[in-house]
Amino acid sequence: MKYEEYNYIIPTWTAIYFSNGDISGLNEEEIEDLDKFETKLIKRHGHANMIVANEDPSFKCYNDINNYGGDCVKGIILVEKQKKG
Query: Over the stretch 22-63, which tens digit does the pLDDT of each residue have?
Result: 999 999 999 999 999 999 999 999 888 899 998 899 999 999
Task: Please count the structural domains in the chain.
Answer: 1
Q: Is residue 85 domain-resident?
A: no
- Full domain range(s) for residue 42: 3-80
Query: Over the stretch 8-20, which tens digit does the pLDDT of each residue have?
Result: 999 999 999 999 9
33/63 Cα distance (integer angstroms): 11
Q: Is residue 14 domain-resident?
A: yes
Q: Is residue 69 domain-resident?
A: yes
CB–CB of 54/15 below 8 Å?
Answer: no
Give burial (CB, 10 Å; 0-12/13-18/19+) of 69. Answer: exposed
